Structure 1
């Protein structure tokens, strides 16, 4: 009886459409001798309209132009007779889908590979919708452990004993099979991969929370730097406006001094802001790296494959951040002392003007956005280097006027101008 049923099933497979895998409906036969449902073949060839070359879905023989399709009446009658003689067969074969690039293929399909939907951890094989049915129906197979089709199936096999990795050795911190447990891990504390996954899940959450905290700290620090830069710029603008107001009341001989003071303010502003902006970029890059690591850990935590998570968790080491987040920021950037000096210049003569400009040049570089840096070596690489070339030194140059004594070779009252 069973032999007869098997023969009937094989006969029916011969009359299934290779495309939809159902019994042929309105069958047509190509020149190469293969038969398909008319609608299935037309739909398949419609995809090749732009190419102008049509192929057999089964043997890949090409045709050009597109062949005209006619119903195979003899084959249609045979299929109808099969339906009448075997009404108890009920529904058609399951609807399957062909495996495309990136899909897991069924390990049982021999000719046209179908997309696998389940993997069996006992059989260590993947099955399509049709071939998995035996695991649901057979009493001998229904106790096998099924999971969604996984490309990492072979990674779950012990390389030494070729058995399923179904235990986790807590002492040696590795996945092992039953035979490993009996031979090399006697008296060791064991647990299941699922239980170990739960522990890792807690660590994943802790790591994500830590990364989230680090990101928040850096975001706050970037905001702090941004506000400090705005305050610094505002203070510089106030100082520039004050100096310009004072210098506008000086005689024409002071115009050059006014320009030099403004130049020093701008140079100091550029140096400070440039250094802070570099640190802000470094912090924002760390935020980006932390977010990427946070997302990677989130993706790892969503993977259902316990073995894959355990095997790959160790590669996600804790991210080590720099100490830039500990850099202090000055929120009170004032130029009051400098403004006082500038105000004094208004009532001083030319011989005192140069002396006061030197005092200003000494005070301007002391106004910093960053205060009490935790790591000067680390900050130094983000700040401008010390002047080395003549052009760099000239940024800080001033004119000195020296009064020559009467007994010198120069006439009384002559002055020597020296640029330093």
Structure 2
């Protein structure tokens, strides 16, 4: 008997309720066969129905049919158990189960590999992020410490200069006050002496007067603006603004570096502006390509159309006809750009390379 025949025989002697080889097979009036115990239990469980029915075709019987052993099926089951076909089928089934288990175990091993890879990736991300945070903390602490020291040093030097200049002013002020007091005293003496009628007495007293102290040099005392430290304030403001611009530009570079961190898992598509900002790029305009009616400012990030031609060096890449300029940076990968303009219209284009030679331009 072939394996296909064994499969058909096994299907024909299997109970559709327990899905196993029938024990004490019985055939009900509709022609379907079941284990005697299985069909009894099935009918006993149908308490909600007044009629017993077939589990397969749902045909109802009234009253409950008498269950008589199907000797033909019983004989067939016994014969299959003797020729060993059930064992063959069981062996084949076990082989299939073994193959299925091998496939499942292979998938488990494969998934375990990716789980370990993800765990290693997460550990690497955490370790790298912690190192980056520690390094950033260290560098920013150094910067803050340097700024605090510079602030203290600037404050101290201003105070020292203040004290030095103040002392000089106070010294001259005291000398002038003393000289004024002495002059007022001499003036009072001379006034009193001028009232003396005796000429000899007058001459004698005048000749005995002590000489006046030396006159204080007032040539350096001139009216001047009172903003003595305005230049210091302007210099500090200028330098700190430069530093602020550097920090701001560096932060744009840091943000770009953060956006390029290559993670194992694919990143979701950005949807909000905050997510698009992660792909932002700072674009500057190339002064070698700017039309002479474009005034570049703010670190070549701003272009203003003017009637007056700007003084630019001659360059073969400069636009002579159209009032436009190219960017100084190349765009690689996915980028996010924002643009602000004033006026009626603006033309902005992005170009990318196609097939190494052809270019396509999109105008926004």
TM-score (norm 2): 0.30
Structure showing greater relative contact order (alpha-carbon pairs closer than 8 Å, 6 or more residues apart) = 1
TM-score (norm 1): 0.27
Structure possessing the higher radius of gyration over alpha carbons = 2
